[in-house]
Structure 1
Amino acid sequence: MNQLHKSPFRIYEISFNFCTSFFFCLLLLSAQAVAGGGGGGHSWDGIVVTQGNYQALQAIKHELIDFTGVLRTWNDSSTTSVCSGGWAGIKCLRGQVVAIQLPWKGLGGTISEKIGQLQSLRKLSLHDNVLAGSVPRSLGYLKNLHGVYLFNNRLSGSVPASLGNCPLLQNLDLSNNQLSGIIPATLAESTRLYRLNLSFNSLSGPLPVTLARSQTLTFLDLGHNNLSGSIPDFAVNGSHPLKKLNLDHNRFSGAVPLSLCKQSLLEEVSLSHNQLFGSIPTECGALLHLQSLDLSYNSINGTIPDAIDRLHNLTMLNLKRNKINGPIPERIGNITGITQLDLSENNLTGLIPPSLVNLANLTSFNVSFNTLSGPVPPILSRKFNSSSFLGNIQLCGYSSSTPCPSPKPHHPLTPSPTSPQEPRKHHRKLSVKDIILIAIGALLAILLLLCCILLCCLIKKRAALKQKDGKDKITTEKTASATGAATSGGGGEMGGKLVHFDGPFVFTADDLLCATAEIMGKSTYGTAYKATLEDGNEVAVKRLREKTTKGVKEFEAEVTALGKIRHPNLLALRAYYLGPKGEKLLVFDYMSKGSLSAFLHSRGPETLIPWQTRIQIAKGISRGLAHLHKNENTIHENLTSSNILLDEKTNPHIADYGLSRLMTAAAATNVIATAGTLGYRAPEFSKIKNASTKTDVYSLGIIMLELLTGKSPGEPTNGMDLPQWVASIVKEEWTNEVFDLELMRETQTVGDELLNTLKLALHCVDPSPAARPEAVQVVEQLEEIRAEVEATTVGSGGDGGKDEEGV
């Protein structure tokens, strides 16, 4: 036995000395600890698996469909290799199976009820597979069960009520499946349950009161279901450990429970897209740890409580599309850390408080479609475009088309010299002579004005002709027309038409056509230019290929719809121009750092891109794509890193969205084919099939892999495309061969974030469209990656305190 104890330590020592990868070391240490079960770090305690556990594993294997061959190691003849590391995903302690870990293995079939015979099982991790059938009720027999991770599968049926019989259960994640029925109230009987995620299913019925009043839950996510009824009171007789509550996209009604505002540890609350009414309780000002509050898309009325300024840690407040009235509290300006504030589509009145200019961290702001009045503070109008203020008829100063009126001088009434105590009440009547003189004067003024206008036009035309030979032109045709309105243009002598939407610059057709132009690139849609206007301002102009766009009437209808789309991560269409001979120009904001593709692949060796920058880019792209899918009902169809543009702060802006709507069917087909050759097209997306949100998510996954690996999807590696190459490496081991070498310098601090982001990216490029998440889910999971890493420290000690990757 002494030799048996010494050998594993010697193997570990040698392996550690030659370990060059942080992830390999991490996994090796984890494997030692799990296999040893806390008994000194042995890789195997020498005890053969019990016959009962062996038979249960064979029954489980029998009901699984092994598409990738991962279960080949589960042979039928040997019991000695089960616990010694020979069986993939199996961990033992004293001859008993304590963990089954087979995520991301492409497993299908069902989970056998025989799993209930593994009495020592602590962890079941089969997430991100294609498992069907129901969640085994026999899991409730397992008294040592700590964690169940079956998310991102195709499980159906109900949530087993028997899971409440597991006294040590701490993590239960069945999200993103097809579960139905009610949420069992018995789940609250698991007295150590601190993380419950049942989101993205089809659950119905009420939220059990016993669950709401659980004294252990810190994370509760029931979003995207069909739950109804009122939201029950939370821990009426005491504080609650809850930190994150997500009940969005359900059918809850009634008021926001007052008890919820008394849970002092809450950090995130999302109750959006429900049927809540009543006012926001003033007591919610007591949520001193609250960072995110989303009550959007409800029927909440009343005013915004003044006590909201007590939420000093708040970074996001979303009250969009409710029935909130009254003024915007001046005290919101005291929440200095807030970055996102959306009060749009309510009944708010009065001025925009000047105190909001103090919110230096504000990156997203929207008060559109209220009844606000008065001037917009200049700092806000410069920082945010007009879409943040539209729909407020009496609001002014947020764009060139909504100037604020000049203050009228006050003229006091002059006392009459004959009656100093009273104002003058009588006026002398005009004589015929006075009227004739006034008429002659007016006629002369009109004639003089017409002469001045004619002279100005002649001077301007002569100056334009002189400039014609000395400047590069975007088009060969030119018009003398200018636009005076923000949303319409007029035809000039050549028949051109310029239409503005909104934006920081106002220019005429002459300004645009005479601008100095520099070609930035060409695509199937047309040629992109950087145009420098005469006043020095820069815009991006895309000249669409002639004979590839739709007719003028249909084109204008589609481009007008695109001009209304606004989001911080979507490149805004600011104007368009229709030339007299069919030329069509689209005008966008100019992005100083160019495309993401050039940013990643055309930089010098001295230029490093840290992980924080890359993950922020991934989040921004995901947010923009989610907005397109969810709010604009628009599919991009051609998402690549070349049409992700970066501004001076490296914030991403998705370009070319919706352009296929401007093109003929033949031209759109060419764009799709081009995307395929670049490696971004989903395998099911061909010329005879339509694009979908899932084909866009596939392209998003490719871009995420591009950010992680630093490799271009258009350049095969070892004869494989980017997803195949990454999958081949992941199948063998989590090593530094996957990640960009620059990122390996940061692995001590962001190692888990890299792994979790890689898992999510691979989920996005799943060959099966049904298995891919929606863009809004990608956003949520990217936002939660940091929270999930931090959650590894939560627990009651021992094995129960580990995260999803521990036993």
Structure 2
Amino acid sequence: MAVSYHLLLLPAVLLLLVLPLASSSSAAGDHAALLALKGAVTGDPASVLSAWSSSDPDHCHWRGVTCHPASSAVAAIDLPAASLSGALPALLPPRLLRLDLSGNNFSGPIPAAFLASPTLRALNLTSNRLSGPIPFPPSSNSSSSSPPCPALAHLRLAGNFLVGEIPSAVAQCRSLRVIDVSRNVLEGAVPRALGRLAALRVLDVSRNSLTDRIPPELGNCRDLAVLVLTNLTSSPGDQPEFNAFLGGLPPEVVTNPALEILWAPRANFDGRLPRYRNGSCRLRAVNLGQNYIGGPVPKWLGECGDLAFLDLSSNSLEGSMPAELRIGCMRYLNVSQNLLSGPLLSPVEGKCSSPLIDDDDVIQYYEGLVGIALISNPFGSVLGDIGNAALHDFSNNGFSGVLPSLNLHLVGNYSYGLLLNGNMFNSTLSGGFFRFCKAASGVAVNLSGNQLSGSLDMLSSCTSLQSFEAGYNKFNGSISPGIGDLHLLRVLVLRANNLSGEIPVRFGDLAALEVLDLSKNSVAGILPSHLADASRLKVVMLDHNRLSGSIPPSFSELAQLSVFDVSFNNLSGDIPYLRHSADCGFFVGNPLLSRCLGPNASAPPSVSTDHQKWTQRLGGHMTKSKYLVVIIAASATALVSFVVAVLIFFVCERRKRAKIENFKKKMVVTFADAPAEINYDSIIQATSNFSIQNLIGTGGFGATYKAELAPGYLVAVKRLAMGRFQGLQQFDAEIATLGRIRHKNLVTLIGYHIGESDTFLIYNYLPGGNLESFIHEMGSRQVSWAEVYTIAMDVAQALAFLHGSCTPRIIHRDIKPSNILLDEDLNAYLSDFGLARLMEVTQTHATTDVAGTFGYVAPEYATTCRVSDKSDVYSFGVVLLELMSGKRSLDPSFSQFGDGFMIVSWGRMLMQEERTSEFFSPGLWDTSPKDRLTEMLKIAISCTSESLAVRLSMRQVAARLKQLRNEH
């Protein structure tokens, strides 16, 4: 019995002996893994890892290391922003739960062990210099095999140089809650397999080079709260946004009941937003600005009680604004630059719900995205505290009727900006319009460019008003002196109305006033000297009125005054000294004013006083004859002054307007060095003011002129046929992107100019003409295989670059022979790339005629009105068929085959009937390698397939053409 008892105790004793050995082995593994990490570090300027030593066995006390309770097993390594550099080791502590190496300078690939750990829950490698693909193992089809990353919940790899595609195998990590792979160089599509991640809360794929359609399977992620597909808000050093998706947003994704943040500005989306949705709505922030989305604004957005940020600007939305929207509860609403119309009804009233966000990841994205977006508030410099501002932007649509009566229900102390400019409102300014002034600590309003009328007396009721712009309307009557009570007012723009009366003396009480623009009205009376008591004035524009009397010398005391325009009035007397440069154009049109001697030439007050004393002293000793001589001389001087003033008007008017409007209308922005100076005047002179004698081509975007800026230095100037712009800032951003694009087969954009009368782009000049002329002349000259191949290869490489390697990637949308230019050696260069996008985003209303030229447009556009990179492929195929045959896409010879028959149908017919030799231009078949010609024809036919799936990509086209060159 005793022996049995001891035998029973033996396993327990052995277990007690083995456990310390196992623990010791585990500790040794942790110790080795930590030292492996230190050994991989090649730079540690702050000596963060100095205490990590093989001589110290207690690694649980090392900096950045956390161990499991009652154990020496490493649970976490936290070394963010430690300035560490080097490679990442392949070895991890066996029971590691969290690894945070964000904000360092680690480089090289991510070890596969990091994403195959059975225990790791959080991996944060954000903002390093890591490269290579994301190292997930291939997906396993075996149901019995365990996933390689069963515990991984947080995967943060943003801000590196990772390449390749987002692996579908990431869906094997079934516990994933956060995937952030933004700010990398990833390509391809968003994997459909991500729809299997039931626990996914955050997906951020912005700032990559992704394309294709957004998979509707993402709608299966029923906990998905944050979806960031593109992101235009950035910090210095951030990678630009290059994602450009195809098609529209799947309704399953948009109406996901868990979704709180949907962020996809300038993502290339088209289609429409879902008209209906079922179930609850938790949306807080939606940014779909700068896309191609059409249709109405969905009414169901009014059911989203938490919606505080909505940006649908710069799309093609139409119809009326839903009254169901809780505008008064929104901190940011932007529907500008659309096709919306009808009355802007007062929104529904109701209490705003503002439940707290209980998810740290959602809070982080909401505060980051929304906070940075508010910084771009157009009233930022006026309202001051942007962090607590609200903005509602309805500008540049077709809204009409009475001005809306908006009542805000936001909580806390905030400033408010309201933009209604560029519409067709035709009411008066009633007291109800300013209801929002009661709740806001500061208010900025823009009503410019409407058809508003009546008086401005109600302005004084908004005591929190800081900026009021209402130019180009029909307001009339005198300016209310009550405006002098608006002590917060910094900007007042009332130009181009029908205002009369005098300038209120009380304007001098506006201590905060910086900009005063009353130009182009019928304001009369004197210029009150008390106005100069508004000591912060920087811009005063009173031109084109009926002011009389002298210019008070008190304006010389305004230290910040940089623009003081009183031209075209009835002013008289001396021009006072101004502390900043005064353009003589600011004073023309006042015949009784003294002569303007140019910037800074007017004498300071002390000199004027001395001059007055001198003339008084001299006058006491004058004889009558001398006095007569002085009178005659003075009269002659006055006459000369008048003539000079008239001359100054013609010489200075253009320059004066440039300074006043701050548009720098004569400035030419250049992207490359040139052997001659390039400016507005040199372009006008070199094109003979865009004379028809200099015209070398016309197209859908405008006319092109040849200009010789210096002996032997020729450029091509494309004068754009553009309508009203959305804004200079967006034009500059778009064209600056095009200016950085360089490829050996793209026409180089040298510079540009934008103005009210002229907008043009400057390209390098190519003397070989265009491919359209080349094809037209093929019937009268022998064309070689080498010439055809070189042109085809050059264009294919240019398009492959635009679609796949260019940043951002560009869909041309108008590939045709006239947009392919040639040099003397018949090298080909693609032109007009990026202009379709540029024209759409920089005009008030998106155009619909930029999807190509008839005969070259892909068939899917006729049914879906959608363009993609495959649309360019189709157009390229048509051009290639023309190049080989010498016939045009819609050649008259095709009429014998019936209506709708074109070169694509002809080429396909000859291929099927094995009459390939009949397709090629005279002499080309007989003098060229027939197998290569036949293969090139097959490539062209593949490019023009009606099936998008069958149609090649331009990268594949370029690769197949390259094979033709290598074949012997």
Query: Given the two structures, how large is their TM-score scaled by the length of structure 2?
Result: 0.43
Matched to 1:220, the amino acid is L
Match for 1:393 among 591, 602, 609? 591
Three-state SS of the structure 1 residue aligned to 2:452 is strand
User: Is 1:770 aligned with 2:824?
Assistant: no
Is the 2:457–2:479 Cα contact (8 Å) retained in structure 1?
Answer: no
Aligned to 1:565: 654
CA distance in 2: counterparts of 1:212 and 1:680, whole angstroms: 55
In the alignment, structure 2 segments of 5+ residues that lack a partner are 1-74, 76-94, 101-119, 132-156, 163-175, 181-193, 201-208, 231-248, 354-388, 603-607, 624-638, 698-702, 751-762, 765-795, 811-832, 846-968
Query: What does residue 108 of structure 1 align with?
Result: 270
Residues 265, 288 of structure 2: 8 Å contact kept: yes
How much has 1:293 moved relative to structure 2? 1.0
In the alignment, which residue of structure 1 is the partner of 2:581? Answer: 383
The 3-state SS of whatever aligns with 2:347 is helix
Which residue, 304, 320, 329 being the options, matches 1:142? 304
**For 2:804 and 2:472, how far apart are their aligned partners in 1?**
38
**DSSP 3-state at the match of 1:309:** helix
Alpha-carbon displacement from aligned partner over 1:444-492 (angstroms, at most 9, x marks no partner): xxxxxxxxxxxxxxxxxxxxxxxxxxxxxxxxxxxxxxxx978999xxx
Q: 2:503 aligned to 304, 309, 313, which one?
A: 304
Paired with 2:344 and 2:333, the residues of 1 have a C-alpha distance of 13
Partners of 2:158 and 2:539 in 1: CA distance: 39
Change in Cα spacing, 1:197 to 1:384, as seen in structure 2 (3 Å) is: same
CA apart distance, 1:302: 2.1
Say yes or no: does 1:340 pair with 2:539.
yes
- The question of whether the paired residues in 1 share the 8 Å contact of 2:735 and 2:838 is answered with no
Q: Secondary structure at the match of 1:96?
A: coil
Quote the offset at 1:242 in angstroms.
Answer: 4.4
- Matches of 2:441 and 2:556, distance apart in 1: 35
**What residue is the counterpart of 2:346 in the other structure?**
185
The alpha-carbon deviation at position 339 of structure 1 amounts to 1.9
**Which residue of structure 1 lines up, in the alignment, with residue 648 of structure 2?**
502
Given residue 213 of structure 2, which amino acid in structure 1 is its aligned partner? R
1:246 matched residue in structure 2 = 446
What is the aligned partner in structure 1 of residue 868 from structure 2?
none
1:362 has 2:600 as partner: no
**Cα deviation, residue 82, structure 1:** 8.2
Corresponding residue for residue 14 of structure 1: 125
Counterpart among 57, 60, 74 of residue 215 in structure 2: 74
The answer to whether the 8 A contact 1:120-1:144 is kept is: yes
Looking at structure 2, the residues matched to 211 and 137 of structure 1 have their Cα atoms a distance apart, in angstroms, of 20
**Cα distance change of structure 1 residues 88 and 639 upon mapping to structure 2, 3 Å threshold:** closer
Q: Give 1:49 deviation, angstroms.
A: 8.1
1:257 is aligned, of 457, 463, 467, to 457
Shift, 1:104, TM fit: 0.5
| Structure 1 residue aligned with 2:664 | 624
Determine the structure 2 residue equivalent to 1:330.
529
1:128 and 1:727 map into 2 onto residues whose CA distance is: 22
* CA distance, structure 2, for counterparts of residue 378 and residue 306 of structure 1: 22
Name the CA shift for 1:221/1:95 in 2 (closer, same or farther; >3 Å). Answer: closer
- Deviation per residue, 1:87-134 (Å, 9 max, x gap): 946999997111222210121121111356561122221110111111
For 1:395, give the aligned amino acid.
Answer: L
2: CA distance between counterparts of 1:167 and 1:396? Answer: 54
| Other-structure match for 1:274 | 473
Cα gap change, 1:771/1:254 in structure 2, threshold over 3 Å: closer, same or farther?
same
How far 1:261 moved relative to its partner? 2.5
CA contact (8 A) 2:198 2:223 kept: no
Q: Note the 1:658-697 alignment, pairs <5 A.
A: 659=685, 660=687, 662=689, 664-667=691-694, 669=696, 672-673=704-705, 685=718
Alignment of 1:592-741 (within 5 A): 620=662, 623-625=663-665, 640=670, 655-656=681-682, 659=685, 660=687, 662=689, 664-667=691-694, 669=696, 672-673=704-705, 685=718, 700-701=732-733, 704-705=736-737, 713-714=749-750, 728-729=806-807
Summarize deviations over 1:207-260 as a string: whole Å, max 9, x none. 1334499998711110111112111222499564442111111111111133x3
Choose which of 407, 423, 428 in structure 2 pairs with 1:225. 423
| Count of equivalent residues | 512
Q: Note if contact 2:517-2:541 (Cα within 8 Å) is conserved in structure 1.
A: yes
Q: Tell me how far apart the structure 1 counterparts of residues 402 and 835 of structure 2 sit (CA, whole Å).
A: 35
Which residue of the partner structure matches residue 938 of structure 2? none
2:351 maps to 1:151: no
Residue aligned with 1:140, SS? helix
C-alpha RMSD over aligned residues? 6.0
Aligned residues of 1:49 and 1:83 also touching (Cα < 8 A): no
195-204 or 249-258, which moves further after superposition? 249-258
**Where in structure 2 are the equivalents of 1:377-456 lying within 5 Å?**
377-379=576-578, 383-399=581-597
* Deviation at residue 771 of structure 1 after TM alignment: 2.9
Compute the displacement of 1:699 (Å): 7.4
| Per-residue Cα deviation, 1:374-420 (whole angstroms, up to 9, x for no partner) | 1112447x9323321112121112249x9999979868999xxxxxx
Partners in 2 of 1:169 and 1:135 — Cα distance?
16
Superposed, which structure 2 residues align to 1:450-529 within 5 Å? 501-502=647-648
**Structure having greater relative contact order (Cα 8 Å, sep ≥ 6):** 1
1:208 corresponds, among 397, 404, 410, to 404
- Cα deviation for residue 566 of structure 1 reads 2.9
* Corresponding position of 1:161: 323
Q: In structure 2, how many angstroms separate the alpha carbons of the residues matched to 1:137 and 1:96?
A: 19
CA displacement at 1:360 relative to structure 2: 2.9
**Alpha-carbon distance between aligned partners in 2 of 1:143 and 1:217, rounded to the nearest angstrom:** 22
* Native 8 Å contact 1:130 1:153 kept in 2: yes
Partners of 2:715 and 2:277 in 1: CA distance: 40
Q: Measured at CA, do residues 18 and 157 of structure 1 come closer, stay the same or move farther in structure 2, by a change above 3 Å? A: same
1:126 aligns with 2:288: yes
Counterpart of 1:334, as a letter, is: D
2:336 counterpart residue number: 175
Deviations 1:181-201 (A, max 9, x none): 011112565758942110001
Greater Cα shift, 299-308 or 72-81: 72-81
Residues 261 and 286 in structure 2, CA contact (< 8 A), matched pair in contact too: yes
**Inter-partner Cα distance in structure 2 for 1:329 and 1:142:** 53
Matched AA of 1:566: R
2:395 aligned residue: 199
What is the letter of the counterpart of residue 418 of structure 2? Answer: L
User: Match for 1:15: what amino acid?
Assistant: T
C-alpha change, 1:667 and 1:707, in structure 2 (3 Å) is: closer
Distance change >3 Å, CA 222–CA 296, structure 1 → 2:
same
- Give CA-to-partner distance per residue, 1:558-617, whole Å, 9 cap, x none: xx7x8742336479xxxxxxxxxxxxxxxxxxxxxxxxxxxxxxxxxxxxxxxxxxxxxx
Matched residue, 1:613: none
Question: Percent of aligned pairs with the same residue?
Answer: 19
Seen in structure 2, the aligned counterparts of structure 1 residues 207 and 695 have a Cα distance that, compared at 3 Å, is closer
Alignment-mate amino acid for residue 424 of structure 2: N
Give the Å deviation of 1:52: 14
Task: Measure the CA separation in 1 of the matches of 2:258 and 2:130.
Answer: 30
8 Å contact from structure 1 (residues 399, 502) kept in 2: no
Greater Cα radius of gyration, structure 1 or 2? 2
Contact persistence 2:262–2:285 (CA under 8 A): yes
Go from structure 1 to structure 2 and tell me whether the alpha carbon gap of 1:282 and 1:383 turns closer, same or farther (over 3 Å shift): same
Cα distance in 1 for partners of 2:392, 2:436 equals: 21
Distance in 1, matches of 2:128 and 2:218, equals: 36
Structure 1 counterpart of 2:297, one-letter code: V
Structure 1 residues 321 and 92: alpha-carbon distance in aligned structure 2, compared to 1, 3 A threshold = closer
Return the alpha-carbon distance in structure 2 between the equivalents of residues 663 and 487 of structure 1.
34
Whole-angstrom CA distance in 1 between matches of 2:229 and 2:398: 33
CA distance in 2, matches of 1:486, 1:393: 9
- Summarize deviations over 1:605-638 as a string: whole Å, max 9, x none: xxxxxxxxxxxxxx95xx234xx8xxxxxxx9x7
Alpha-carbon separation, structure 2, partners of 1:488 and 1:669: 43
Task: Tell me the residue number matched to 1:37.
Answer: none
* CA–CA distance in structure 2, aligned partners of residues 340 and 691 of structure 1: 30
